[in-house]
A and B are shown apart, each in its own frame.
Chain A
Amino acid sequence: MPLEQPILLTNIPTPPWGDFADRKTLSYADYTKAGGYAALEQAVGMAPKDILEVVKAAELRGRGGAGFPAGMKWSFLPPQDGGQRFLAINCDESEPATFKDQVLTEFDPHIVIEGIAICMIACQLDTAYYYIRGEYHHHREIFENAIREAYDNGVFGEGSRIGKVNDRWPNLYLQRGAGAYICGEETALLESLEGKRGWPRIKPPFPAVAGAFGRPTIINNVETLATVPPVLTHGADWFKSFGKGRPEGAPPNVPASFGTKLFGVSGPVKRPGVYEEHLGVTLKTLVEDYGQGMLPGKNYKAAFHGGISMGILDTDEYEAEMDFDIGKKYNNLGLGTACPTIIPHDVSMVAMARNCARFYSHESCGQCTPCREGGNWLYKILTRIEQGDGTMKDLDMLLEIASSMGSMPGTTICGLADGANWAVRTIVNKFWSEFEDAVSKERFVSISAVG
Chain B
Amino acid sequence: MAWITKNSATMQIDRRDEPYLTAEIKADFEQRMFPRYPTKQACTIPLLHAIQDLHNWLPYQAIEEAAEFLELPASTVLDTATFYEEFFLEPRGRYTIWVCQSVSCEIMGHNKLVEKLSEKLGIGPHETTDDGRFTLMNVECIGACGGAPCALVNHKLHENLTADNVEQILDGLE
List the interface of chain A (C-beta within 8 A of B).
84, 93-99, 102, 127, 133-138, 171, 173, 175-182, 192-198, 213, 215, 264-268, 272-274, 304, 308, 339, 341-344, 347, 351-352, 355-356, 359, 361-366, 372
Is the CB–CB distance between B106 and A351 below 8 Å? yes
Q: How far is the CB of B11 from chain A (nearest CB, A)?
A: 20
A interface footprint on B110-141 (CB within 8 Å = 1, 0 otherwise): 00000000000000000000000000000111
* Chain B contact residues, majority secondary structure: mixed
- A274 with B48: in contact, given A94-B140, A366-B2 (CB under 8 Å)? no
Closest partner residue, chain B, to A363 (CB atom): B140
CA distance A356 to B148 in the complex (A): 17
Interface size on B, residues (CB 8 A): 46
Is the CB–CB distance between A99 and B144 below 8 Å? yes
Residue numbers in A under 8 Å from B162 (CB-CB)? none
Is the CB–CB distance between B102 and A195 below 8 Å? no
Residue numbers in A under 8 Å from B83 (CB-CB)? 180, 197-198, 365
- A362 with B140: in contact, given A213-B38, A268-B107, A304-B103 (CB under 8 Å)? yes
Selecting from B23-31, B39-47, B163-171, the interface stretch reads B39-47
CB neighbors of A among B1-54 (8 A): 1-3, 36-39, 41-46, 48-49
Is the CB–CB distance between A341 and B85 below 8 Å? no
Tell me which of A137, A179, A343, A365 has the highest count of chain B C-beta atoms within 10 A of its own C-beta: A179
Q: How far is the CB of A224 from chain B (nearest CB, A)?
A: 18
CA distance A179 to B84 in the complex (A): 6
B69 within 8 A of A: no
A interface footprint on B76-111 (CB within 8 Å = 1, 0 otherwise): 000110111111000000000010011110111000
CA distance A163 to B161 in the complex (A): 49
Is the CB–CB distance between A135 and B98 below 8 Å? yes
Q: How far is the CB of A75 from chain B (nearest CB, A)?
A: 25
Is the CB–CB distance between B143 and A102 below 8 Å? yes
Tell me which of B38, B49, B107, B148 has the highest count of chain A C-beta atoms within 10 A of its own C-beta: B107
Closest partner residue, chain B, to A134 (CB atom): B86
Residue numbers in B under 8 Å from A359 (CB-CB)? 102, 140-141
CA distance A273 to B143 in the complex (A): 12
